[in-house]
Structure 1
Amino acid sequence: MQLSKDLMAASSTPLVLGVIAEGETYGYEIVKRVEALSKGALNWTDGMMYPLLHRLEHQQYLTSRWRVGDSGRKRKYYAITEEGLKVLREQQQQWHVINDALNQIWRDLKRSSNDGYQPV
């Protein structure tokens, strides 16, 4: 299944903030965690991930520091700030509203499936 770019863009900030809220991490680990959470449906690239991380850092939702990882490579590790946690909580509430509305409309459509609508 191909996910729309609009949906991926809208969900990228809460996904990244949520992953980083689990603990300090670096870009490649974030990409792999999102891929695992989505069961492979979200395959982000460096070209998408690093501009997002830089934007979130500029907005002061993240801090970063360079350190040597377990592999011996120098990596930029990201941690969430208090402001980032606040934004994550706000976005979580917003996504619950959207999710509830979508689930309701899909339930209503299923009940009145005279129009031939077949939910997935």
Structure 2
Amino acid sequence: MRIHHLHHRLCAKHERHERHGLHGGHNHHEHGGMEGKGRMRRERMFDANDIRLLILHFLSSNNAHGYELIKSIEAIAKGEYVPSPGIIYPNLSLLEEMGLITAVQSDSSKKAWTLTTEGHAELVLQQDHLGHIIAKLESLGVLGDNRRLPEIQRAIHNFKMALNTKLGQSDLPKETLYKIIDTLDQAAKDIERS
């Protein structure tokens, strides 16, 4: 598949940017607490190939700037996943090198992109995989909606407080630890099966 072409080169470039802090603005470590950790895990849910297919998908209906592409992806996930500029812009450059997109004249000073004939052909070849990626993004949006329910927020807060209070005891007997582990395992099974 052509979309994998030059993938290693992009990964090496991205790793250099990571080492030198050249992410183009958005810092993954800006988000504090559990919310930030969740966002960082979601960043890893989509590989570079997934991001490139999403870019092709959005450009198939309209020309767009990099920022507009970020916002389009964020909208499908209802804010639960927001790709950073450090992910979007290198992939735009790679897609242009591959001849799948090209820069077009824009009303503003920002660079806009459009799909080429080759880009349309690649998108047709990748429709099944694209469907899976979009479904994954949409499921994140549902997850976010459910997680924001006040009853869920309260239950999660109570669970964390009880667990942290109990685990914070220095003289916790092993039997109690094993009981906590069993309870957590059973709760996970019950939630999965409900």
TM-score of the alignment, normalized to the shorter chain, above 0.5: yes
Q: How big is each residue's C-alpha offset from its partner over 1:12-69, in whole Å with a ceiling of 9 and x where there is no partner?
A: 1111100111111111011001100111122111111110000001000001034333
Q: Which runs of 5+ in 1 are unaligned?
A: 100-115
- 1:61 is aligned to 100
- 1:15 is aligned to 54
Other structure's SS at 1:42 match: coil
In the alignment, residue 90 of structure 1 is paired with which amino acid? L
- 1:29 is aligned to 68
In the TM superposition, 1:91-110 aligns within 5 A as 91-95=126-130
In the alignment, residue 63 of structure 1 is paired with which amino acid? T
2:85 to 41, 46, 62: 46
Instruction: Please give the root-mean-square deviation of Cα atoms over the aligned residues, in Å.
Output: 2.6
C-alpha change, 1:86 and 1:119, in structure 2 (3 Å) is farther
Bigger Cα Rg: 2
- 1:85 is aligned to 120
- How many angstroms apart in 2 are the aligned matches of 1:58 and 1:14? 15
Q: Which runs of 4+ in 1 moved over 3 A?
A: 94-99
C-alpha change, 1:44 and 1:96, in structure 2 (3 Å) is closer
Q: Whose strand proportion is higher, 1 or 2?
A: 1
- How many angstroms apart in 1 are the aligned matches of 2:70 and 2:81? 9
Structure 1 stretch displaced more, 34-43 or 87-96: 87-96
How much does 1:119 deviate? 6.1
How much does 1:98 deviate? 9.3
In the alignment, residue 106 of structure 2 is paired with which amino acid? R
C-alpha change, 1:47 and 1:90, in structure 2 (3 Å) is same
- How many angstroms apart in 2 are the aligned matches of 1:119 and 1:54? 44
C-alpha change, 1:39 and 1:96, in structure 2 (3 Å) is closer
- 2:148 is aligned to none
Q: Percent identity?
A: 26
Structure 1 stretch displaced more, 26-35 or 9-18: 9-18
Q: Whose helix proportion is higher, 1 or 2?
A: 2
Compare relative contact order (CA 8 Å, sep 6+) and give the higher one, 1 or 2.
1
In the alignment, residue 35 of structure 1 is paired with which amino acid? E
Other structure's SS at 1:7 match: coil
Q: 2:48 touches 2:91 (CA, 8 Å); kept in 1?
A: no
TM-score (norm 2): 0.45
In the alignment, residue 103 of structure 2 is paired with which amino acid? S
